Amino acid sequence: MSEFSVHRKDMDEISVLNLDGYLDAHTAPSFEESLKQLVDEGRFKIIVNCDKLAYISSAGLGVFMGYIEDVRANNGDIKMSNMSEKVFKIFDLLGFPSLYEIVDEEGEAVDKFSNINS
């Protein structure tokens, strides 16, 4: 079975989801559950830290697609950070960088959310 876990960290208005392991059709529901939880709580400023994300398939990409519209309609965003070269290549291949903000470090994503607030 694919190893995968999500760890959540709340900082004021912003929530960070740390993804760890293999995000495929088997583990996508667990990531989806975490995103849904945030949306249900009305927390729309979301950073997905991919530092420990070893792998992503289209089932994982679909989770991002499934929430972005709703989140943005609520004045929020899903930004991604700390992506490995390998994982970035897949996002890039599908043109996701034109739709999602992907930054090198989590801190940059925090700053971008803060700038919007100020």
Partner 1 sequence: MATKTKKFLLVTPSESDFLDIIRDFVGKIARSAGFSDDYVSKIQLSVDEACTNVIRHAYLGMKQKDIEIRVELNAKKLVVSVVDRGRGFKPESKHVDDMEAYLSEYRKGGLGLHLIKLLMDEVQFSIHPNKMNIITLVKYLDDKQTLGTKRNRKSILEKPHARKR
Is the CB of 42 or the CB of 95 nearer to partner 1? 95
3-state secondary structure of 25: coil
Rounded CA gap, 84 and 69, in Å? 25
Helices (H), 15-83: 28-40, 58-73
Of these, 24, 30, 36, 52, which contacts partner 1 (CB under 8 A)?
24
Calculate helix-pair angle for 58-73, 28-40, nearest 10 degrees: 10
How close are the terminal C-alpha atoms of the chain, in Å? Answer: 45
Please identify which residue in 40, 93, 117, 118 interacts with partner 1, judged by CB under 8 A: 93
Closest CB 54 distance from partner 1, rounded Å: 10
Q: Is 83 helix (H, G, I), strand (E, B) or coil?
A: coil
Query: Can you tell me the distance from the alpha carbon of 45 to that of 79, in angstroms, rounded to the nearest whole number?
Result: 8
Tell me the window of 9-17, 41-49, 50-58 that interacts with partner 1 (CB under 8 A).
50-58
39 binds partner 1 (CB under 8 A): no
Give the residue with the Cβ less far from partner 1, 7 or 66. Answer: 66
Binding site for partner 1 (CB under 8 A): 1-3, 22, 24-26, 55, 57-59, 61-62, 65-66, 68-69, 77, 85-86, 88-90, 92-103, 116
